[in-house]
Structure 1
């Protein structure tokens, strides 16, 4: 997996919000004006909010004590984003057919990587792996016992690929714990799977 020694990884905050806004596009809001609200609010509320309200909601989260994700920054420009938070921050996941939790741990101790977004021009260059590693570190530092994701085994469009590739997650030590859809395994990393050590070449 490629290394990016020139990258820094920063949590989204009030200070780094302008970097995310530039990455997503102030009007575009990443894919179709989502602003990473897809898993955080009900479908009816998501549709009723509109792009501006979704943007405002994410900006409010950026000012909270618990950052909603990690930015990959190169030469003062954000080139990638990984949304990661406690499972309890994503109520829609609980009702999702493919991503519903396995009820074996407190949802406060399970963190979830819900979205990856890479700037045009940097896609298909192996940036997802370092972003996921940084997201895992971020979650562990905040008390996570495990980190989950529900990536895709194949994506034909960037919109389908926002959840990440299952192969990339597997390379980083995530293991499949359930599959309710042919293309969407539920995967989990725990402290015993060796991601942090392996990712650093130990």
Structure 2
């Protein structure tokens, strides 16, 4: 499974995030261990809408972005990342680019792929929750949320500030309206 190659552990018995922490309730997320996590991702990938988009380079999976209706994620209940309004937005919250393929524009392609994924399924808008790091470098282990600048380059605008901080940087809500072309 291509998603597992991107977000899964090197060792099948490890219990890494697998991009499930914002998709499942806390109890289920904490209960799943090792191969059970991979199986849960397979189940999610078989559902409509799929839990994200994959970027390929010469047939090889090189990048992942998690995107889903906010109402079906933990962001629906977040106290730190507020709702901007009552619009039924989609959330774009996690990026993973395989080592050896970073700094090649794959994150930008993933953002556009996520936008199209949401648009094709009728989303009125899509929002992300990146760090607002200015020109400062973000630790690669914390770069999974991306940066404000990446979202701005993709036509997103600042919708709100949040109470969330990651790696010392404030997170913001960046939104792109999908209702008009």
TM range (shorter): 0.7 to 0.9
Does the alignment pair 1:64 with 2:43? no
1:55 Cα offset (Å): 1.8
Give the drift of 1:123: 1.3
SS in 2 for 1:23: helix
Name stretches of at least 5 consecutive residues in structure 2 with no aligned partner: 164-168
Matched, 1:137 2:116: yes
TM-score computed with the length of structure 2 as normaliser: 0.84
Count of residue pairs brought into register by the alignment = 172
Where does structure 1 lack aligned partners over 5 or more consecutive residues? 1-17, 195-202
Query: Which residue is equivalent to 1:47?
Result: 30
Task: Say if 1:62 and 1:68, in contact at 8 Å, map to a contact too.
Answer: yes
Output the aligned Cα RMSD. Answer: 2.3
State the TM-score, normalized to the length of structure 1: 0.76
Change (3 A) 1:56 1:112: same
Which structure is higher in strand share?
Answer: 2
Report the Cα offset of residue 24 of structure 1.
Answer: 3.2
SS in 1 for 2:32: helix
> Structure 1 residues 52, 157: CA separation in 2 closer, same or farther (over 3 Å shift)?
farther
1:189 aligned to 2:173? no
Aligned to 1:200: none
Matching residue within 71, 85, 98 for 1:119:
98
State the SS of the aligned residue for 1:85.
Answer: strand
Name the CA shift for 1:100/1:149 in 2 (closer, same or farther; >3 Å).
same
Equivalent of residue 171 in structure 1, options 153, 158, 163? 153
